[in-house]
A and B are shown apart, each in its own frame.
Chain A
């Protein structure tokens, strides 16, 4: 590597860091505004036009806040835990392409690299919980370990099923393979699996078990404050964005679908727009759903998502081996998705609706002088 190449790489990494911070600020603003819309309120309005500068103000506030370390904490681990969470979520960006040419290093094993790094933050979370010397943090970090490890499996399986179609782990090749039809149309089941498990990986509602403000009051981060806490916060949003980008690239056709723009910057805009769309869906989930319980989370992952992800691989295998037309895969995938939905619906919603009607029927009418 010459000096020039090294400088270029350093510049790229610095640019990446800046871009990520800007993205996170925009996501925070977007989330607050989107949630406010769901909840019949305005959201931040005071700092800047429609609160545009609110995330900046918040970030500044966080940086000047006192960084407290509990007396009982294991100082070295306590300080290094945020870093261990931050580094993996940062380095995956090295190989994520935002347009055909816009990528730092286009690795042949890109997707494998991303999946491999995405499991690392769990170490940081467990360390954070352990070193805080707080029982809530401990509970939260153990929850995060269980959750992240079990939801890694559906993600990996969904990715395996996906890469069977273009027969490549290179992200650019995968995106280029979707010129005619995006993989979301081929594998709706894969998309659902990846998105659900992805939401669980970044710990957003309904899978925010390990932050769970109403139960473990912030989980592993309960003792963190100031700049250290903001690193965790930063990582949460970067990871959200990673899931959004991956869904956009792997399933929604990246920069190639539905039309292939000539200019690279147009493709870039395409990808970013799709990513924000996926992220908005995740915000929408947060505005609507309550949180699962830890055992329900595990059974949802192991009893539903893992078997489904295996089935997804099998049907994709049939499609590839017998060279069936694409729509057969779509049909099989949809059928499995509907089956899963029906299974879930049958367990709770249908009996509850019946009970509710019964309850109304049994409501005892009150009449004068009857009592």
Chain B
């Protein structure tokens, strides 16, 4: 094996010289399909995966520790940078935690604005998933379809919050500023566009023969194992468990809106994919209702600029596009939190990787990781 440099291979057994040996393949952190800076060490026998060892930590920025040095209103910017594909949802959970601790009543209009933006963010995030998943499968068109529609959502975000990605728009007790005057018109137009876009995306990929061959019965996981590993969100619902925080523990005004919770049955890559596509449709339904109910009124509760919540601890969680995103907050009564702990859904999803990749092919490994839809920003924090 002189030509391969320092190849790391498994034990060679001289008594069986024709047997193959395992090869160590280092996938990531620069590999294009590891969705950020994730590294997997694969032990492969030919194309089959024998063992996999995930490595995380390449994107660690110490966000939780940083939170302890900032006053409450500044921490929102740090939460933007956790799951950088669903920023509004992150901001929301932190604001909800502080509001719960300080017993702040958020005005009705602000709640609706938050809900609308969070649902839009869910669609944007799932569209990104759709695109990258298609790319993982080897199709190049999905990502352009996905981004075409995601771009329209981002433009609306820019109009509302002034930023395309790191919004810093939610405030403890409400939102930064009121919606732009033409918001309702833009939303109506956007909903139509998204509806068409999602349908088109669905038609392009979902029932394609090759796509089905690549995703059906690949990376199966049953409900029991999924719950045991702490899977949440679409990844859990793909196994048939209808757990959704919006329904199990309603926040904002979700209890006033009608929507379905799509669930899969096999828990394979295709189920995880299709649950997300269906979720986009449900989000559109929610958005239509919320837009109709959007009341007038104040957008901020009266909150002190330097907030000092009472001593105590609190947990808040919400349904992020990726799953159950939780924040555990300890206050010592000063203007800075004593401890902020984030419970990111993606971290648990990576836990399932070892289980999912058993006896897969190298090519499946990319698909499975893609179907889990992890964002390394919230895994490493």
Q: Please give, as numbers and ranges, the residues of chain B lying within 8 Å of A205 by CB-CB distance.
A: 138-140
A215 at the interface (CB under 8 A from B): yes
| A41 & B265 in contact (Cβ 8 Å cutoff) | no
Stretch of A107-115, A254-262, A284-292, A329-337 that contacts chain B? A284-292
| B141 & A371 in contact (Cβ 8 Å cutoff) | no
| B361 & A294 in contact (Cβ 8 Å cutoff) | yes
| A138 & B4 in contact (Cβ 8 Å cutoff) | yes
| B213 & A293 in contact (Cβ 8 Å cutoff) | yes
A363 at the interface (CB under 8 A from B): yes
Also in contact, A72 and B213, with CB within 8 A (given A215-B33, A295-B47): no
| A296 & B274 in contact (Cβ 8 Å cutoff) | no
Question: Which B225-271 residues sit within 8 Å CB-CB of chain A?
Answer: 242, 246-248, 250, 255-265, 270-271
* CA–CA, A130 and B4, complex, Å: 7
B40 at the interface (CB under 8 A from A): no
Q: Please give, as numbers and ranges, the residues of chain A lying within 8 Å of B213 by CB-CB distance.
A: 292-293, 296, 348
A5 at the interface (CB under 8 A from B): no
A176 at the interface (CB under 8 A from B): no
Question: Which A72-120 residues sit within 8 Å CB-CB of chain B?
Answer: 72-74
B209 at the interface (CB under 8 A from A): yes
Q: Please give, as numbers and ranges, the residues of chain A lying within 8 Å of B135 by CB-CB distance.
A: 214
Closest Cβ of chain B to A355, distance in Å, is 7
Also in contact, A371 and B265, with CB within 8 A (given A38-B141, A363-B260): no
Closest Cβ of chain B to A356, distance in Å, is 6
Closest Cβ of chain B to A349, distance in Å, is 5
Also in contact, A214 and B5, with CB within 8 A (given A38-B141, A349-B207, A371-B247): no
Q: Please give, as numbers and ranges, the residues of chain A lying within 8 Å of B255 by CB-CB distance.
A: 368-369, 371
Partner of A364, one of B5, B263, B264: B263
A-B residue pair count with CB separations less than 8 angstroms: 159
Q: Please give, as numbers and ranges, the residues of chain B lying within 8 Å of A344 by CB-CB distance.
A: 209
Smallest Cβ-Cβ distance to A291: which chain B residue: B138
* CA–CA, A72 and B5, complex, Å: 6
B339 at the interface (CB under 8 A from A): no
| A40 & B136 in contact (Cβ 8 Å cutoff) | no
| A214 & B145 in contact (Cβ 8 Å cutoff) | no
* CA–CA, A143 and B47, complex, Å: 9
| B362 & A139 in contact (Cβ 8 Å cutoff) | yes
Q: Please give, as numbers and ranges, the residues of chain A lying within 8 Å of B205 by CB-CB distance.
A: 290
Q: Please give, as numbers and ranges, the residues of chain B lying within 8 Å of A290 by CB-CB distance.
A: 134, 137-139, 205, 208, 210-211, 214
Q: Please give, as numbers and ranges, the residues of chain B lying within 8 Å of A121 by CB-CB distance.
A: none
| A364 & B260 in contact (Cβ 8 Å cutoff) | yes
Smallest Cβ-Cβ distance to B142: which chain A residue: A290
Smallest Cβ-Cβ distance to A71: which chain B residue: B5
B62 at the interface (CB under 8 A from A): no
* CA–CA, A54 and B353, complex, Å: 42
| B260 & A368 in contact (Cβ 8 Å cutoff) | no
Partner of B261, one of A213, A295, A366: A366
Closest Cβ of chain A to B271, distance in Å, is 8
Q: Please give, as numbers and ranges, the residues of chain A lying within 8 Å of B136 by CB-CB distance.
A: 214
Q: Please give, as numbers and ranges, the residues of chain A lying within 8 Å of B211 by CB-CB distance.
A: 290
Question: Which B25-66 residues sit within 8 Å CB-CB of chain A?
Answer: 25-26, 31-33, 47
A208 at the interface (CB under 8 A from B): yes
B148 at the interface (CB under 8 A from A): yes
Closest Cβ of chain B to A280, distance in Å, is 16
Task: List 6 additional A-B contacts (Cβ < 8 Å) besides A135-B23, A139-B47, A215-B366.
Answer: A72-B4, A133-B4, A217-B31, A293-B214, A294-B363, A360-B278
7 CB contacts below 8 A, A to B, read A73-B3, A133-B5, A135-B26, A212-B363, A290-B138, A359-B274, A366-B259
